[in-house]
Chains A and B, each alone.
Chain A
Amino acid sequence: MGDTDDPRPDGGETAEERVAPGSRALAPRLPTADPLAHLRALTLLDLTVYLYYALTAVFFLFPVLWVVSASLRPAGELFSYPFRLLPSELSLTAYERVFDAGMVTWLFNSTLVTLLAVAGIVAVSVPAAYAFSRFDFRGRRGLLGVVLLFQMISPIIIVVPLYSVMSGLGLLRTRIGLILLYLGVQVPFSIWLLKGYFDTVPRELDYAARIDGCNRLQTLRYVLLRPVAPGIAVVAIFNTVLTWSEFVLAYTVLGTAGRLHTISIGVYKFQGQFGSDWRAIAAASVVGMVPLVVVFIGLQRYFVKGLVEGSLKG
C-alpha cells in the first residue's frame, strides 16, 4: 500500500537524513567508501558516538537476543554451570511445550482480531477524516476536539465498567465485541492522522472530479484515495501493532473464554502456569513478538511516520 508513491526503499534513510546543505562547514563528512581512511579520520567525538551506539545496541538488543537464546536450550541447561551466552546445542522442546499449551489458537485469534479490527478502523476513519477535512459544518471544531480528547484519554480508564458495559450490550466474551471496542478506542488517533493527509491534498482535485460528474463517494474513491494511501498504510500498520499487543481490554472482554484468547492473554496465562520454567516463558515471548518484529523490519519507515505524525498532529 502506498509503496509506489514513494521511491525510497523500505528501511532506508528518510529524506531528512540526507545531509543538509551547509552542514559540511560544521562537521566535515568522513570518508565512508574506504574503511581505513574512515578509521584514521575519526575524532574523539566520533569515537564517543560509536561507543554510545554500541552501548545502545547492547541495551536494546541484548534482552531480545537473550530470550531467543534461552528459548532454544535443552532442558536444564539454563540452570547449570558454566553460564553460556549461546545454547550448547539447539533444542526446540520449549517451543513444543508452548504449542501444546495452545499457541496456535492464540496466534489464530490474534491474527483474526487484528485483521478485522484494522480493516474496520480504516473503513471507519477514512470517511470521518474526509468529512473533517472537506466539509465545513457547525460544530466541526468542537467535534474534532472531542475526537482528540478520546485519543488522549487512555483506554485503561474504561476497564472497570467494561465488564458490565459489554455484558449489557451482549458483547462479553465475543470476538466481535473486542473488535468493536478496538475500533472505538483506536479510531480517534487514525482520524487525526488521516485528516492531516487529506488536508495536504488540494481541494481543486475535488472540484475537478465534481465537474466530471463524480459524487463525493466517487471523488473519495477514484481521486483522493491515491494521495492519502501512504497515510492509510501508516494507520493500518500502526494499528496492527497496537491491536496485536493489546492486553488489558482483551483480558477483560474475553475473560474466561479460553478458546478466544489472544496472544498476550495466552502468554500471560502460560507464564502464570509455568512460573519457573524460564525456557518455556522465553519461547512463548519469542513466538509472541516474532510476527510484529517481522512486520516492523519490513516497514520500518511507516512506524517512524506514525510516531511523529500521530503525536504532532494531535
Chain B
Amino acid sequence: MATADGPGAGLLRTAADRLERGWEAVLDHPLVWLAPTLVLLAVFQLYPMLEALRMSLTDASLLEPGADYVGLANYLDLLTDPEFWGMLRVTAIYAFASVVFHVLLGLVLAVAIDYGVRRGLYGNVSTRVAVLLAWVVPGIIIGLVWKVMLVESSFGAVNHFLGLVDVGPVPFRSNPTLALVSTIVAGTWRGTAFTMIMIYGGLQRIPRELYEAARMDGAGRWARFRYVTIPQLKPVIFVTVVLVTIYALNTFDLIFALTGGGPGRATQVLSLFMYQEAFTDYKMGRAAAVAVVMLVINLVLTGAYVYAFDVTEEI
C-alpha cells in the first residue's frame, strides 16, 4: 500500500490518464467501429464477386487445375447456346408467375385481414400466423414438403383429392409444364407472407380521411377500393414487386429439393443452371459467366428498388 502514495503513483496515474485519453481518441474514429464489417464485406462478398468476374474470363474447370484467359468466350458461348435461352425462358416464366401470384394473394389477404380487424371478425391473427408459418420453413424442407404433397400416384395427398373428382393421378413433377407449375405453387406458398405483411403495412398508412371523403362523395365499397386503396398502395406494391422479383430470380433451395431442375431442364432457373454448370459439368468459367449475368440482373433490380424507395433521401 505504501507505494500508492509514492512518487511512482503519480507517474502511473498520468500513464493511465494518457491511456484513457488515447483509448477515447481511438473510439472517436468511425473506422474502429466499422473495421470488422469492412473486413467481412471485403473478404466474403467483394472478393468472391471479383473472383467470379475473373473466373468468367477463363476456361477454369474443376477437373483440371490452372486456367487460361479466354476473353469473352464464355459469354459468347452462352449467348449462342439454346440451353441458355431455354433456361432464361424458364426463369422468366417462374419469376413472372411468382410475382403475380405473390402480389395478388398477398394483396387479397392483406385487404381481407385489414377488413376483418376493423369489422371485428374472428381468426385474423390465426390466418396471418398460418401464412407466416410457411415462410419460416427452411427452403430445402419446403421442397420436400411439396414433394410429399405431390406424390404422383393416387396415394399422394393432392392426387387423392383430385381423384375424388375423377382427375389424375397427375404427374406433378415428371411432366415439364406441371413441374414448373409445382415450383411456382411451392414458391408462392413460401413467399406470400412477405407480400401480405408489406401490403398490410401499406394499408395502415393510408389516411382514414381519404375514405371518409370518398364516402361523402358517394363512393361505394368497390369505388373506394379502386380509387383510394389501390392508388395509395402503388408505391408499396412497386417496392414489393421489385423485392419479390429479386427473390424469385435467385431462388435455389426450394427448386433444388423439389425438382432438382428437372425433368430435363424444365424447372432449371438461373441459379440451378449456374450450379449445374459448375458442380455437375465442372465448367467453372461458364458458370462464373452465368453468375455475372445474375449479378447484373441483381444490380439492375437494386437500382429499381433504390429509385422506387428513394433510399438516398434517408441516408
Contact = CB atoms under 8 A, between A and B. Distances in A.
A30 B118 CA distance: 9
A161 B133 contact: no
Interface string B269-299: 0010011001000001001101100110011
B237 to A, nearest CB: 13
Contacts of B55: 160-161, 164
B122 A152 contact: no
B198 to A, nearest CB: 7
B179 interface: no
Interface residues of A, number: 115
B49 interface: yes
Most buried by B among A154, A163, A267: A154
B187 interface: no
Given A67-B148, A165-B48, A271-B257, A49 B116 contact: yes
A124 B37 contact: yes
Interface in B78-125: 108-109, 112, 115-125
Interface string A43-74: 00110011011001101111110110010000
A157 B298 contact: yes
B178 interface: no
Q: Could you tell me the dominant secondary structure of chain A's interface residues? A: helix
Interface stretch (A177-185, A200-208, A225-233): A177-185
A246 to B, nearest CB: 8
Most buried by B among A123, A148, A169: A148
Contacts of A264: 138-141, 253
Most buried by B among A16, A63, A264, A288: A63
A29 interface: yes
Nearest to A149: B302
A187 interface: yes
B133 A285 contact: no
Interface in B121-173: 121-127, 129-141, 144-149, 151, 153-155, 157, 160
Contacts of A282: 144, 148
B115 A154 contact: no
Contact of B198 (A263, A293, A311): A311
Contacts of B33: 127-128, 130-131, 135
Nearest to B44: A184
Contacts of A217: 27
A26 B120 contact: no
Most buried by B among A67, A70, A308: A67
B148 A300 contact: no
Interface string B247-267: 001101100110000000000
Nearest to B285: A160
A30 B120 contact: yes
A142 to B, nearest CB: 9
A158 B48 contact: yes
Contacts of B250: 154, 156-157
B212 interface: yes
A308 B45 contact: no
B36 interface: yes
B294 A157 contact: yes
Contacts of A314: 309, 311, 314
Contacts of B62: 163
A184 B43 contact: yes
Nearest to A69: B157
A171 B120 CA distance: 55
Interface string A185-197: 1011001000000
Interface string A162-176: 111100010000000
Contacts of A132: 34
B145 A64 contact: yes
A82 B112 CA distance: 38
B294 A191 contact: no
B41 A64 contact: no
A311 to B, nearest CB: 6
Contact of A83 (B51, B140, B160, B306): B160
B3 interface: no
B315 interface: yes
Contact of B252 (A156, A161, A271): A156
Contacts of B120: 19, 29-32
Contact of B295 (A26, A153, A281): A153
A25 B212 contact: yes
B74 to A, nearest CB: 12
B68 to A, nearest CB: 16
Interface string B46-61: 1111011001000000
B189 A59 contact: yes
A26 B118 contact: yes
Contacts of B180: none
A252 B275 CA distance: 10
Contact of A124 (B40, B125, B256): B40
A50 B117 contact: no
Nearest to B193: A307
A312 interface: yes
A247 interface: yes
B73 interface: no
A247 B138 contact: yes
Nearest to B55: A161
4 shortest A-B CB distances, which residue pairs? A184-B44, A245-B138, A154-B250, A131-B33
Given A156-B274, A268-B140, 9 more contacts: A20-B208, A52-B112, A79-B155, A128-B36, A152-B301, A154-B246, A160-B284, A162-B48, A165-B47
11 contacts: A12-B125, A17-B117, A30-B121, A50-B121, A50-B123, A67-B148, A245-B140, A263-B138, A289-B138, A293-B136, A303-B136
